[in-house]
């Protein structure tokens, strides 16, 4: 978070807005060209990236991307595909990002006719986990993904495909379009250590999840690392006599926070203080208050957020 002051010593709060898609994206056909359109609001002008599944889309002789300003801070985004084929089907995502935040618009393109036939590429929905049993005689690598139709799963250790044996078992538990994918290693030993990769693929795309197994190491902690739900922001109250820096994160377990100013560790005082409040399950609101700010308080503030995950 950068805090700056105007000549009069008044805090200068950045002016702008994060990207927002105010309307649902649309698909229509224009002759031989299939057009996906999104309306976007943002300031400053955002960077736009289109994806098909997890792959970034690039301009080619048959694919064209357009960004057109339609008013103050509003834009029309188009993805045009000439002579589309079944291979163009799948999940599309328009990502818009500026210094105030980012947003995504999702579009499902289906050539099979009717929602029942619609499919989508595999996508991992949880952090992969390595789970040992209490005695250490069994290690389970677990991944969870969504996909339609059912994906084909291949496990790799390094670059070599893993084969089932009396020592190694592979399972997949299906629940509608959600799949729990398991690799079990019986009586693990040092040579079983290494980088494992779970590769899932169907006709709409593919995805990978990586796990590092170290037999000598502590098991990976359960939980989720801190992740920003909203970009940090600065605002002022009391006619500029109070500056507030705030952000919202998710984390499990509850994290510890440390604040820095220009690389120097901050300590709480009558002038500067901070707090962290739990706003919901694994959701935390972090707030730093700076009273009677002056030019000496300008500069880069950094909030370090850490938990065991």
What single string gives the DSSP state of each residue in 72-93? TTEEEEEEEEES--GGG-EEEE
Q: Mind listing the pLDDT tens digit for each residue in 32-87?
A: 888 899 999 998 899 999 999 989 999 999 999 999 999 989 999 999 999 888 78
With left for phi above 0 and alpha for psi between -120 and 50, is residue 9 left, alpha or beta? left
Q: Of the candidates 93, 115, 137, which is a domain's last residue?
A: 115
For the segment 236-283, what is each residue's pLDDT rounded down to a tens digit? Answer: 999 989 999 999 999 999 999 999 999 999 999 999 999 999 988 899
Q: What percent of the chain shows pLDDT beyond 90?
A: 50
Whether residues 23 and 98 share a domain: the answer is yes
Q: Do the beta carbons of residue 169 and residue 163 sit within 8 Å?
A: no
- Is the domain of 197 the same as that of 254? no
Domain termination site, one of 218, 235, 270: 218
How many domains are there within the chain? 3
Q: How confident is the model at residue 5 (pLDDT cuts 50, 70, 90)?
A: low
Question: With contact defined as beta carbons under 8 Å apart, do 227 and 250 qualify?
Answer: yes
Q: Which of 190, 194, 193, 171 has its CA nearest to residue 181? A: 171
Specify the pTM.
0.38
Burial class (CB in 10 A: 0-12, 13-18, 19+), 169: middle
Residue with tokens 């000496």: 296
- Within-domain flag for 160: yes
Q: Quick one: 17 and 110 in the same domain?
A: yes
Q: What is the DSSP letter of 257?
A: E
- Per the structure, the complete domain to which residue 90 belongs is given by 11-115
* DSSP helix/strand/coil, 27: strand
């Amino acid at each position: 978070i950068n805090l700056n002051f105007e000549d009069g010593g008044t805090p200068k709060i950045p002016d702008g807005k994060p990207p927002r898609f105010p309307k649902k994206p649309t698909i229509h056909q224009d002759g031989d060209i299939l057009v996906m359109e999104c309306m976007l609001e943002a300031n400053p002008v955002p960077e736009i990236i289109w994806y098909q599944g997890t792959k970034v889309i690039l301009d080619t002789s048959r694919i064209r991307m357009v960004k057109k300003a339609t008013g103050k801070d509003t834009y029309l985004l188009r993805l045009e595909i000439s002579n589309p084929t079944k291979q163009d089907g799948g999940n599309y995502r328009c990502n818009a990002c500026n210094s105030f935040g980012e947003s995504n618009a999702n579009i499902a393109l289906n050539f099979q006719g009717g929602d029942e036939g619609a499919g989508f590429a595999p996508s991992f929905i949880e952090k992969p986990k390595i789970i040992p049993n209490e005695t250490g005689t069994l290690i389970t690598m677990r991944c969870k993904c969504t996909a339609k139709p059912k994906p084909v799963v291949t496990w790799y250790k390094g670059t070599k495909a893993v084969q089932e044996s009396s020592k190694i078992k592979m399972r997949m538990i299906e629940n509608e379009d959600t799949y729990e994918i398991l690799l079990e290693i019986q009586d693990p030993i040092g040579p079983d250590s290494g980088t494992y990769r779970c590769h899932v693929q169907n006709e709409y795309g593919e995805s990978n999840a990586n796990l590092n197994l170290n037999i000598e190491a502590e098991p990976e902690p359960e939980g989720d690392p801190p992740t920003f739900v909203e970009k940090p922001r600065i605002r002022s109250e009391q006619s500029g006599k109070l500056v507030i820096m705030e952000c919202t994160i998710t984390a499990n377990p509850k994290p510890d926070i440390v604040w820095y100013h220009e690389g120097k560790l901050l300590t709480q005082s009558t002038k500067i203080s901070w707090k962290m409040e739990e706003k919901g399950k694994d959701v935390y609101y972090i707030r730093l208050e700076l009273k009677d700010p002056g030019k000496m308080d300008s500069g880069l503030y950094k909030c370090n957020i850490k938990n065991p995950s």
